[in-house]
Structure 1
Amino acid sequence: MNGCPDLRDSVATVIAARRTPIATIGQRLADSTVDGLAAVSLGATVADARRSLGRDVPLGDVILGNCMGPGGNTARVASLAAGIDVAVPGMTVDRQCGSGLAAVLVAAEQIAAGSRAMRLAGGAESASTAPTRVASRGAYARAAFAPDGFPDPDMGPAAEALAVSHGITRQAQDAYALRSHARAVAAREAGRFADELAAVGDAASDDGPRAMSRAVLARFAPVFASGADGTVTAGNSCRVSDGAATVALVPDSERGVAPGLALIGSATVGCDPATPGLGPVFAIESLLASSGISLDAVEAVEIVEAFAAQTLAVLSEVGLASEFAVDDRVCADGGALALGHPWGASGAVSVVRLFSRLVRAGRPAGTLGLATAAIGGGMGVAALFRVVR
């Protein structure tokens, strides 16, 4: 981890991981506030952690990522709403779409610094209840990702530019979106999401994965470029969504026999703000170089699928996709293209998914998993985990 002790021998382990259902903006979770969503996920996570440990471990902090909330320290509000003791502090971090994963890494840094208390970390987003931001010039959709003098593209046009620069066709993007939906539908029907979900009221399942076809996807018009020149559509892009995801981390000295995911390395890097979608490429390369681990040794990869074009550009750069195929290790149960993308939560959703794919699925000790996300403004984050039992 950048600036921290070498974590190849691990100092922090994820022993519990939960998430709420993910719902499209304005739909089933539209009345749930961001702290309300986070409180549900936090409550389920801490209960799982205590069952796994077989005892009540002191809780040191609650750290949540969030991009567009109302302020007021979402992590603290959600912590209290979840019934966590008033003596436990809370901190909210904003690293845009990498916020949920960044929060997990901050929690691990606290443990690496010597704390023996458990940490709850993750992220939450309620696009449905996010406030309208107003400045002297009036309401605006988002704050700048970069200052004047730097490129500052929205992520959609940036994905369209990557499709052009990397020669990623509309057909390839639609095929990847179809893959994501098909795998998520299969995972839902097989019950592979069941143990990670914490119901919010009557909402107990994701509303996103759908039975798609190439014909259906072909009907969507380009969104960010006109006419035949455009390839990025609503069908091969993520949906803006509501949801929360959290994990519990403990020091190895407190883990006992609880199975989990030991964090063995991470990297957070900057890149050209003009191509923010490529951030994961540089984060993955930095992480693998510092850890001395080959990507071939990694069994499961979770990338935040913001856009099919952006995801394919990253995967092709790191050797996980070609013109004809995507590596089966990538988002094996689908990703954000199917489930939706609650910005501040999605990085943490990736860790929850790794926990289900590797720990809940009974993969042997030593199995490796990788989580990564692109970040607006030209950044990338990646984290490497190892199964411990």
Structure 2
Amino acid sequence: MIATKPHPRTPVIVAARRTAIGTAGRALADVPVERLAAPVLRALLDDLAARPAEASKDRLPPVADVILGNCMGPGGNVARVATLAAGLGPDVPGLTLDRQCGSGLEAITLAGSLVLAGRGDLYLAGGAESASTAPIRAWRPKRPGDPPRPYERAPFAPPPYTDPDMGVAADRVAQEAGVSRARQDAYAARSHARAVAAIEAKRFAREIVLLGGVDRDERPRAGLTPERLARLRPAYVPEAEGGTVTAGNSCGVNDGAAAVAVVPDHVRVDHGWPGLALLDWECAGSDPDRPGLGMVPAVRRLLARTGLQLDDIGAIELVEAFAGQVLACADALGLDPDRISPDGGTLALGHPWGASGALLLVRLFSRMVREDGPDLGLAAVSIGGGMGVAALVRKVPEP
């Protein structure tokens, strides 16, 4: 069972920010990945310095490390470059990790582990992805003078696994789970409608960092009905073979960054901050042939260890890579899909791969802390190669 009172070294999220999510090739197309992350990191420290008034920058603990998830960047250490670009100084290191689209959430749970271990009192963690500026990769020529060979993508799994493309895998998961095309389209349309309503109500305004004049997510579309989505043809598996996954009920290809500040609870108390305590987290392996289901064992293990039921959790944010995939996960978990991402999820907002897991916790911070919402929250993502990451958070009020 989870403790009812935080331990002094319980990791707590005390600030959460993100960029607007851009559609690849559009508003944020010229912004390299480290420049997506840098203003988010800076905004986290500015938020902490300004809340409350007596907590000046000089009283903040030093940043022990910056941990960022990234999948498709230029190589090197994106987190280190972003740290320097944010003006944090050469004394702050940086770590970049890749757990594919779970990278941003994994970065935050790693920061939580380091806080628990007493290694530092302030970590900035999250993820960033620029699909627009990610390098085009090619195999090295075998002989001098030969042209490079196309390099489509790195494998998610080796033989004897089939290593399907994510869209093909989503179609397989939807078919096996009995998730109909109509249900997928209805879910995707609802995600867009919810995101549009949230934008109009300015519910994202306090979490978005202005970057290049962009302060609004690009992907959500008004008036996207199930009837309009039904006109689209399957994108990965032919309709004659039972394909139901289309461009309309799939996520987009996107640019964006998201990050949070993680401190031990005693630091939170000293500064008078509210926040989200990271109660527990889990990463689980699953069938690489059905990667869309990876969050299911992760959530089940997390619930079993904490003694909670999904009905106990008031705020749930899941990465919706494909409508059929997330509905199959909801069905497997016995979760009412209407409870997922009430302000719109990945299908509408977009899927900047390395950042998407961190975006879940930014959204939970807004819903639970900024808006004084439910006490318990859950974030989970399924990952290419057959993995899932899930994290459980609890709201802790101002001391």
TM-score calculated relative to the size of structure 2: 0.92
CA deviation digits over 1:93-124, x for unaligned, max 9? Answer: 00000000000011011111113420000000
Name the amino acid aligned to 1:47: D
Structure 1 position 7, deviation (Å)? 11
Aligned partner of 1:369 in structure 2 is: 377
Aligned pairs (5 A) from 1:298-317: 298-317=313-332
Which stretches of structure 1, 4 residues or longer, exceed 3 Å deviation after superposition?
Answer: 5-10
Q: Cα RMSD between the aligned structures?
A: 1.5
Q: Which moved more, 1:370-379 or 1:7-16?
A: 7-16
CA distance in 2, matches of 1:242, 1:108: 26
Distance 1:304 1:226, change over 3 A: same
CA deviation digits over 1:196-251, x for unaligned, max 9? Answer: 00011111111111111122211211001113422100000000100000000001
Structure 1 position 147, deviation (Å)? 1.4
Distance 1:49 1:304, change over 3 A: same
Q: Which moved more, 1:112-121 or 1:123-132?
A: 112-121
Aligned partner of 2:169 in structure 1 is: 158
Name the amino acid aligned to 1:38: A
Unpaired runs of 5+ residues, structure 2, are 141-147
Give yes or no for contact 2:6–2:265 (8 Å, CA) kept in 1: no
Name the amino acid aligned to 1:90: G
Q: Which has the larger radius of gyration?
A: 2
CA distance in 1, matches of 2:3, 2:34: 34
Aligned partner of 1:235 in structure 2 is: 248
Structure 1 position 50, deviation (Å)? 2.4
Aligned partner of 2:113 in structure 1 is: 109
Aligned partner of 2:136 in structure 1 is: 132
Q: Secondary structure at the match of 2:380?
A: strand
User: Of residues 234, 244, 265 in structure 1, which corresponds to 2:257?
Assistant: 244
TM-score calculated relative to the size of structure 1: 0.94
Aligned pairs (5 A) from 1:62-81: 62-81=66-85
CA distance in 2, matches of 1:63, 1:33: 17
Distance 1:7 1:233, change over 3 A: farther
User: Of residues 231, 235, 241 in structure 2, which corresponds to 1:223?
Assistant: 235
Give yes or no for contact 2:186–2:225 (8 Å, CA) kept in 1: no
Unpaired runs of 5+ residues, structure 1, are none
Aligned partner of 2:388 in structure 1 is: 380
Aligned partner of 2:268 in structure 1 is: 255
CA distance in 1, matches of 2:185, 2:106: 30
Aligned pairs (5 A) from 1:174-185: 174-185=185-196
CA distance in 1, matches of 2:330, 2:211: 34
Is 1:58 matched with 2:62?
A: yes
User: Of residues 265, 269, 290 in structure 2, which corresponds to 1:275?
Assistant: 290
Q: Secondary structure at the match of 1:52?
A: coil
Q: Secondary structure at the match of 2:102?
A: helix
